[in-house]
Amino acid sequence: MNEDFLNLFPEEIRDSVRSLYRIVIERAVLRVYQDLDDEGRQELERVFISGTEEDQENYLNQTFPNLKDILLEETKKLLEELKK
């Protein structure tokens, strides 16, 4: 997560924001992973095992042009779950 973005939040909730961000990212990656063929899954795994965070972000943005939409959907779902 971009530290400049994280610093916009009060220090006492930064850990919570970081955790929620990770949950959203994990859910989004799982969604796109499920839509890949075997070769695509192997490539995604390779990038996430050996690539830097920047490599991972670049791969996801290039491979999944609708990634921002997926992230938004997963964020909305998580917020609804938290309201319950």
pLDDT in tens, 28-66: 999 999 999 999 999 999 999 999 989 988 998 899 999
Q: Are 74 and 27 in contact (CB under 8 A)?
A: yes
* Ramachandran area for residue 51 (φ above 0: left; ψ -120 to 50: alpha; else beta): beta
Q: What are the two backbone dihedrals, phi and then psi, of residue 37, each rounded to the nearest 5 degrees?
A: -80, 180
How far apart CA 45 and CA 73 sit, in angstroms, is: 23
* Ramachandran area for residue 64 (φ above 0: left; ψ -120 to 50: alpha; else beta): beta
Quick check: 69 pLDDT over 80? yes
User: pLDDT at position 53, please?
Assistant: 86
